[in-house]
Structure 1
Amino acid sequence: MDLLTYPFMVRALIAAGLVGLTAPAIGTYLVQRRQAVMGDGLGHVAMTGVALGFVLHTSPVWMATLVAVVGAVGMELIRSRGRTSGDVALAMLFYGGLAGGVMIINLGGGSTTMLLGSMFGSITTVASEDVIAMVILAAFVLAVTIGLRRQLFAVCQDEEFARVTGLPVRALNLLIAITAAVTVTVAMRIVGLLLVSAMMVIPVAAAQRMTRGFTTTLGLAIAISVTVALTGTAATYYVEAPSGAMIVLLAIAVFMVMTALSTPLARRRAKAARSAEEVCTRDDVKV
């Protein structure tokens, strides 16, 4: 494969693999707790961090991580209050982050075109220092989402029950939000800040068409995500297109295939369930 002879493609493929691992790892929990759009909001907030990184001549990845984490903590505090005005506050936080990024980059003498790679993904924007930062951040995401999977699942499934069992619900909720923020910055070079939410949600939704258990759904979602991330990134070497758009469209295609395959599977499961119920009914009658 001649694309592996180019250092920028090797860096891009490594980054794509990290995105494929981390996005559904946290996305499974977000889907479970019906916060599928959280990644989209954090992507908007992280735009301010990217702009600050360019203006201050520091790493956009680390600066975006810092700003996204602060935004994630703010989002969780707003959510935990449960007030009806929370939606308005979150909307202002999301769009304020996007507007702030555009304003900062212009006031710093730059152009909004500098943000395009971070907004929609670009394989040529992945530098060596970005790969190092992404490896560190991805290791954190996987350590949290896999190492604490039982506790996080309990909180996402039923907060009240988790609180009764003695779990630190508020701390775990904050950890989920912070992990989602970190994942956003891991994905921004390849998928883009405006499309990262799709990689958190679509592979998980596709996996749910074929699986039932949480662990199997998580495993299949990661497999789907890694496959489409690597395939989409490699495809952009041959087709001049944003890597984020290519990856997301492939993920949607996989979702459609999974949906088509799941229909007969669901029918077989329903038929088997009916048969088992009929057997139980006959046994009860005999008794």
Structure 2
Amino acid sequence: MDILSAEFFQRALIGGALIAVTAPLMGLFLVLRRLAMIGDTLAHVSIAGVALGFLVNVYPVAVGLLFAILASFAIELLRRTYRTYAELSIAIIMSGGIALASLLFTMGKGFNMDVSSYLFGSIYTLNQTDLAVIAGVTIIVLSMVLIHKKELFLLTFDEEAASVSGLPVKYFNIMLSVLTALVISASIKIVGALLVSALLTIPAACSLTLSRSFRQAVVLVVIIGEIAVLAGLWIAGIGNLAPGGTIVLLLIGILAVSVMTTRIMRA
């Protein structure tokens, strides 16, 4: 079809295929650690960075990435401060991110700030720089996960046992937060900051419903992410629909089928 031969659509497919590996994979770790909302938090902080990037005329994704990484360190610091109420860290940083973003939006009213593409996604506008950033993030995330897969498994399912066994829990918590920040910053131009948490959490929900082991969950979460992103892009391209919204609605459809299938099999 004509759209498949279009250069902008080919870039969209490449970028989508790469982020469909890393976002659901990191999302699985977050969901299992009861930190599913961290995606929304870092996405809002990233948007504040994007707005600042437009204001100072610096590559917006790079500034958003810096903001997200700093926010990930802040979340980990607050988690350690409020151990009993760890979810407070997410609420505090999210509030700060929204407040800073709104302030920067107000300051940028007189400038050409195309922030809407980062809020709702604009995968068809990906350029070579965006693809290079996404590819770099994918390599970093997959490398760290493969190198530390045993440690991450233990940390995910029993943080106290990991600490008692001598694992540097603080280091790995920060590493997971930073990797998540990298993925979210690379994802916001694909599905948008308002929808990026769906790409993190819904594939994880599907895989946990269908899988019987952690290894199966890891494989399924990537497969589901790839199917949703690539099929969503194709449907959006053919029907002239919003890519980010199409991908998320397709993910919800896959989740509904997964839940129904599991219930039928258990009946």
TM-score (norm 1): 0.87
Q: Which runs of 5+ in 2 are unaligned?
A: none
Deviation at 1:106, TM superposition (A): 3.5
Runs of 4+ in 1 over 3 A off after TM superposition: 83-90
Q: What does residue range 101-250 of structure 1 map to in structure 2 within 5 Å?
A: 101-108=101-108, 109-110=110-111, 114-250=114-250
Counterparts in 2 of 1:89 and 1:20: CA distance versus 1, 3 Å: closer
Counterparts in 2 of 1:88 and 1:111: CA distance versus 1, 3 Å: farther
Cα deviations by residue, 1:56-104 (Å, 9 ceiling, x for unpaired): 2222111111100000110111112225676555424213212322322
Partner residue, 1:58:
58
Measured in 2, the distance between the counterparts of 1:93 and 1:199 equals 20
The secondary structure found in structure 2 opposite 1:209 is helix
The code of the aligned residue for 1:104 comes to L
Measured in 1, the distance between the counterparts of 2:98 and 2:235 equals 29
Question: How many residue pairs align between the two structures?
Answer: 266
The code of the aligned residue for 1:246 comes to T
Q: What does residue range 92-103 of structure 1 map to in structure 2 within 5 Å?
A: 92-103=92-103
Partner residue, 1:264:
264
Measured in 1, the distance between the counterparts of 2:152 and 2:88 equals 27
Deviation at 1:166, TM superposition (A): 1.3
Cα deviations by residue, 1:232-260 (Å, 9 ceiling, x for unpaired): 12222223332211101000000011111
Counterparts in 2 of 1:27 and 1:5: CA distance versus 1, 3 Å: same
Partner residue, 2:22:
22
Counterparts in 2 of 1:104 and 1:225: CA distance versus 1, 3 Å: same
Measured in 1, the distance between the counterparts of 2:93 and 2:87 equals 10
Q: Which runs of 5+ in 1 are unaligned?
A: 268-287
Measured in 2, the distance between the counterparts of 1:186 and 1:89 equals 23
Q: Which has the larger radius of gyration?
A: 1
The secondary structure found in structure 2 opposite 1:222 is helix
Cα deviations by residue, 1:17-73 (Å, 9 ceiling, x for unpaired): 112101111111111111111101111111111112212222211111110000011
TM-score (norm 2): 0.93
Question: Does the aligned pair in 2 maintain the 1:24–1:222 contact within 8 Å?
Answer: yes
CA RMSD across the alignment = 1.7
